[in-house]
A and B are shown apart, each in its own frame.
Chain A
């Protein structure tokens, strides 16, 4: 039950309170670029959620078994080379390059797989996949997961796969919420008399800023959630 409560907190935190786009300001390029129409925005959101989940799955595996200090696989190789070594090997310096590498190649793989076995799916969001291979929102999710896997001092607080995937999926859901709201506003903006100097990118960025301010209002929801779930801290 406690575990489930934690998952709910992570999910709400990733999707709404610390929304990737509107709180951490990552993934701005697709957020501005593909938010002209609601249906394409929704497609983009789904594609990001999909890729983020796969990237999180792989990056968690790599971080947990290879990169973090005292990772089992590295420690085993380390002991093969140097049987009487002391202390854990820390390969977290490799995190960025490994994540980019893993995300890019796994998206390639998934694209080929989907193209072969699910042509309709490929048609609907195949065009978005190459666009988001090295998107910062996805790298951000991986780094966030790394922070909790490699950075945790207490071994019991090291995130397992379930928590990492929850963060990734709901981070993607939060991205979808943000981009769909944005697309809806921009569609209505088409019928508005925007001052000439602000047309185009200007008004879009202003709208994004106001939307971000609105989402700041969710701060503090998590403490109330903790109280509601009976876990007074």
Chain B
């Protein structure tokens, strides 16, 4: 009896297996959807992390868009240059020099520089504080509640005196901070060199209004625009650096703009280059001038 049950059970499973194999095999052929083989190949080359850093839901969606030619092939931040090169090989297109994207914080005001700050006792997240009026005077600047710090998986962004500062040594350019910032003051910039020029203010108001809320904000004098064509003003007062044309090797023209800027809002950010380190090796001043507490009188100005 037991043996017969075993045989019957085995027989049932065998029949089921053969039946299902045939049904699935038949279905596979009948319901076959013609997919561009390149999509599969692109899928293989992508990291498959489905992080949606490229702006698509998953790697598959991005692969479809790439093969359809809707998006550039270098949008995958996780895969980086090697991934873009692999995609270029599959699709048979020339890969332009693709730059690593890194975040730039378009605000340079610490707690001290931001005026009109009030005691805020709500939820300590930027998302919540951004909804409330009057947390601080400037409605464009960094709020300092560390949403971006929490979003960063790589411990590459920190709050320094209430201002988000990117640690470019650790940053991999995933763009999580850019996506989470409720005020959109972080943007991803193609880093053509280790050190890049950035406009560290995004207040769109004019002169007096800016002065009322910030000690260091861009007053919209447009001096930089007159000195260099790389600065555009899209109907606003705050300059936008054209990173497409910007060449870090040719800084002569930009040097004038840097010197003309009365608020010193044009800053070079990123890892210190070898040459900079060598040049400042003998000096004690760094890129950011910290107050020197050795003397009782503090006359150092914060330069960013």
A residues lining the B interface (CB < 8 Å): 66, 74, 77-78, 81-82, 89-91, 93-94, 97-98, 101-102, 105, 108-109, 112-113, 115-117, 127, 190-193
Contacts and interface: CB of A to CB of B under 8 A. Distances in A.
A101 B124 CA distance: 50
Contact of A66 (B12, B30, B57, B125): B12
B4 interface: yes
Interface residues of B, number: 25
Given A82-B4, A101-B16, A127-B58, A116 B128 contact: no
Interface string B11-38: 1110011001001100110111100000
A64 to B, nearest CB: 14
B31 A97 contact: no
A215 B24 CA distance: 41
B219 to A, nearest CB: 34
B127 interface: yes
B127 A91 contact: no
A129 to B, nearest CB: 13
B125 A78 contact: no
Contacts of B128: 191
Contacts of B11: 77
A127 B11 CA distance: 35
A102 B24 CA distance: 12
A76 to B, nearest CB: 12
Given A77-B8, A192-B123, A98 B16 contact: yes
Contacts of A109: 23-24, 27
B12 A91 contact: yes
B12 A94 contact: yes
B159 interface: no
B41 interface: no
A189 to B, nearest CB: 11
Interface string B106-145: 0000000000000000011101100000000000000000
Contacts of B33: 115-116
6 contacts: A91-B8, A94-B9, A101-B13, A109-B24, A113-B31, A193-B124
Contacts, number: 61
Contact of A115 (B17, B23, B31): B31
Contacts of B30: 116
A78 B13 contact: no
A112 B27 contact: yes
Given A98-B16, A115-B33, A127-B58, A91 B24 contact: no
B279 interface: no
B285 interface: no
B256 to A, nearest CB: 46
B125 A113 contact: no
Contacts of B127: 190-191
B8 A74 contact: yes
A89 B8 contact: yes
B13 A97 contact: yes
Given A101-B13, A191-B128, 5 more contacts: A82-B4, A91-B5, A97-B13, A191-B123, A191-B125
